[in-house]
Structure 1
Amino acid sequence: MTELSPRPRRRRWLTVLVAVVAVVVYAVVVLLYASGLRSSSNGCETVIEGDDGVTVLLQPAAVQAAAQRLEFQVSLEPAKSLMSDDNYTPKHRISLLTFPVDGTRVQSFAEGEALASSLQSDYAEGVVEEWPFDSYRSELTTFAFTGEGADRVAVPTVVCLHDSVPGWQLDIERLDVTGNRVTVESGEIPLPSVVITATRSASTVAFGIVLLGLMAVVPVLVLFVAISAYTGRRKVEATLTSWIGAMIFATIPLRNFLPGSPPVGSWIDYLVVLWVIVGLVTGLTIYILAWNRWGTRATPKSRELGQPEH
């Protein structure tokens, strides 16, 4: 028996290496996606039974990166001592003040009125051009009180996040704002201010990076084919110009397929997309020159008709 030559053995190892890398990349993407799935609760605290307090549930609805807005549903979960026997309506008028928000700042529920949630939006500071590493920070202050006018009495309020937004990782941080305090029956308490930070999930970042990497591979392949044809190592096929042209026109739809649709002018346009298009156009130019250099020459009409040339 003859042993395998070094070249086939090297090719076999290369094939195995490529297969292993592909499996590892696939497994990493799947694990990142699984870790980024939404959970039903994000560290949500509840009011201790028997306390005259209120839990404010913030249920994120959407992160508008381009508009720098965080949308969320605001709902109340008062302690049992503040609710009627039916557990659906408050014993006394209860209101919730939330600021700064784009919608109604005060939600009021009269005695015997069922509690309802409202959709609010708040300004979120961030730079969308840094996609997919962009993050957004929104500061919110909210507290509940009972009664009306001069008879208003603030009640202890706890704010928490409930649920999340697909493709985003949301975190909440409670602030101890000195100087901003509200008076309750038991004394003074600090205003419940929180900071909500929204960052793109690891699965979204991995998806974007993999897609950008695939985009970068396309011009490399086109340049390889074009240079091989120009140097005469491969035969020129005129139909390949259609393939290269299709790659140029497919770049923009592929770029717009990125999750979150980053706006034009993001860093990926300057560092990746622009150079992908430059590489494709360069490859098309080289291939046209190769076609002109090695392509089949046109037969003069005089030869086609069998007439002597003059």
Structure 2
Amino acid sequence: MTAERPRRRRFPWQVVAAVLVAALVYAVIVLLYAGGLRESSNSCVQVVQGDESDLVTVSLQPASVNAVNQRLEFQLTLFPPTSLLDPDGFTANQKISLLTFPVDGSSVLTFAEGEALGSSTQSDYAKGIVEEWPFDSYRADLTTFAFTGEGDDRIAVPTEVCLDNSVPGWQLQTSLVPSKDNSVTTAGGEVPLPTVEIVATRSASTVAFGILLLGLMAVIPVLVLFVAISAYNGRRKVEATLTSWIGAMLFAVIPLRNFLPGSPPVGSWIDYLVVLWVIVGLVTGLTIYILAWNRWGTRASPRDPAPAPAPAEPGSP
């Protein structure tokens, strides 16, 4: 009779599936982040039509998107054509002005003849709802154009607006919105002045990071409830030290929530649909585990009765 060969232990397919899913999620996050780094580019729209040789470029370099205060902060720089520059290439050969509204700072940026061209830091109101994080978006309307002269002699020159899409964690897009109320006078007559619409949305990598972190946060109470219910039903031994682990998980929720990119304010939809129920699940798991400890924990041994005092000897005081 031949001895049976020992069976080879098969690797559980669940482990293989878990490793593949983790690798896939990791690859997606890395590709989204790398794609966001490569998407930095300039988008230009022409607000005042005209000859390309006379085109003035207004560069908008965004500094930040302040979602809580609904503000788009940017640096405004004017790049005139060679026809409006001295031979040195950095001073104006005549007075050039840039009108921009609505902004929180000065709406007119003026460079006198012979003055070096500079830039101005501005901020504009961006309409949006931060409580919709990470799917919130913000829209800012901006009207701007360059002109020469002043007063009745003011002549608008061909102007284009270029937005640099390089704010970390955000994607910015520009488009022109026709306006019936605004018009400017050019060398060829009066023309309508459209509004530049800037739309800021969170990048795909930021959205994926936030959703993944929320998903991991939702796994914590599931694990705690599994341990607590197993201990209460008697399938696993009750260990009092696990109450410290459950308590640590409970106090880790708020730091994890504050680690979300963009720091969504308290009261966002994630608090009502995720964070609140994570805390409820952890408190429920802690309660069940305390009941299991009270049910299956080692009972305290009864105290031995105190020995009776020895009788006093005769003749002793």
Q: State the TM bucket, normalised to the shorter chain.
A: over 0.9
User: Counterpart in 2 of 1:62?
Assistant: 64
Identical pairs, percent? 70
Distance in 1 between the 2:203 and 2:173 partners? 12
**8 Å CA contact retained: 1:50, 1:81:** no
Alignment pair present for 1:37 and 2:3 = no
Distance in 2 between the 1:90 and 1:38 partners? 35
Q: How does 1:184-223 map to 2 (within 5 A)?
A: 184-223=186-225
Report the TM-score when normalising by structure 2. Answer: 0.90
- Name whichever of 243-252 and 157-166 sits farther off: 157-166
User: Counterpart in 2 of 1:21?
Assistant: 21
The Cα offsets for residues 43-64 of structure 1, whole Å up to 9 and x where unpaired, read as: 3479998622311111111000
Q: How does 1:1-310 map to 2 (within 5 A)?
A: 9=10, 12-37=12-37, 39=39, 41-44=41-44, 51-302=53-304
Distance in 2 between the 1:26 and 1:52 partners? 50
The Cα offsets for residues 135-164 of structure 1, whole Å up to 9 and x where unpaired, read as: 000110001111223322211111120242
Runs of 4+ in structure 1 deviating by more than 4 angstroms, as ranges, are: 1-5, 45-50
Report the TM-score when normalising by structure 1. Answer: 0.92
Q: How far did 1:191 drift? A: 1.4
Distance in 2 between the 1:302 and 1:13 partners? 56
Q: How far did 1:196 drift? A: 0.3
**8 Å CA contact retained: 2:218, 2:274:** yes
The Cα offsets for residues 73-101 of structure 1, whole Å up to 9 and x where unpaired, read as: 11111111111111101110101010011
Q: Which amino acid aligns with 2:92?
A: P
Q: Please, what is the CA RMSD of the aligned residues? A: 2.1
**8 Å CA contact retained: 1:50, 1:80:** no
**8 Å CA contact retained: 1:48, 1:79:** no
Distance in 1 between the 2:84 and 2:45 partners? 18
Structure 2, gaps ≥5 residues long: 309-317
Distance in 2 between the 1:234 and 1:195 partners? 61
Structure 1, gaps ≥5 residues long: none
Distance in 1 between the 2:247 and 2:307 partners? 38
Q: Which amino acid aligns with 2:303?
A: K
Q: How far did 1:302 drift? A: 1.0
**8 Å CA contact retained: 1:101, 1:121:** yes
Larger C-alpha radius of gyration, 1 or 2? 2
